[in-house]
Amino acid sequence: NAGVMQNPRHLVRRRGQEARLRCSPMKGHSHVYWYRQLPEEGLKFMVYLQKENIIDESGMPKERFSAEFPKEGPSILRIQQVVRGDSAAYFCASSLQGLADTQYFGPGTRLTVL
């Protein structure tokens, strides 16, 4: 089975541009989670989605950030008008079931904002 896939692996954007990060969960998994790891910091939960629904977005910055997980296709984390402080590694995880089920992580997307 293929694991969680994320693309692109590296993304460079200039301030003010948009960044789109994609995540394809493991086959059969309908629960997706996004985490952010700022330089020299631990991973922080951002958002939890289950097919077409946002379950918990309490970790998302209030502005410029949005996430979706459509019925068909990958989950997308979208950052509008990026700023230098958005530079970080963004990891996606998926699980078969929600709650305390084991989460499997992708390799991450490293976003650099110039």
Partner 1 sequence: DAKTTQPNSMESNEEEPVHLPCNHSTISGTDYIHWYRQLPSQGPEYVIHGLTSNVNNRMASLAIAEDRKSSTLILHRATLRDAAVYYCILRDVKNSGGSNYKLTFGKGTLLTVNP
**Min dist. Cβ of residue 28 to partner 1 (A):** 16
Query: Is 45 near partner 1 (CB under 8 A)?
Result: yes
Cβ(18)–Cβ(80) under 8 Å?
yes
Q: For residue 84, give the 3-state DSSP assignment.
A: helix
First and final C-alpha spacing in the chain: 37
Position among 75, 94, 106, 113 found at the interface with partner 1 (CB under 8 A): 106
**Min dist. Cβ of residue 81 to partner 1 (A):** 26
**Min dist. Cβ of residue 41 to partner 1 (A):** 9
Query: Is 42 near partner 1 (CB under 8 A)?
Result: yes
Closest to partner 1 by CB, 46 vs 79, is 46
Query: Is 18 near partner 1 (CB under 8 A)?
Result: no
Widest pairwise Cα distance in the chain: 38
Query: Is 61 near partner 1 (CB under 8 A)?
Result: no
**What's the token pair of residue 108?**
């991450």
Q: What is the DSSP string of 46-72?
A: EEEEETTEEEE-TTS-SSSEEEE--SS
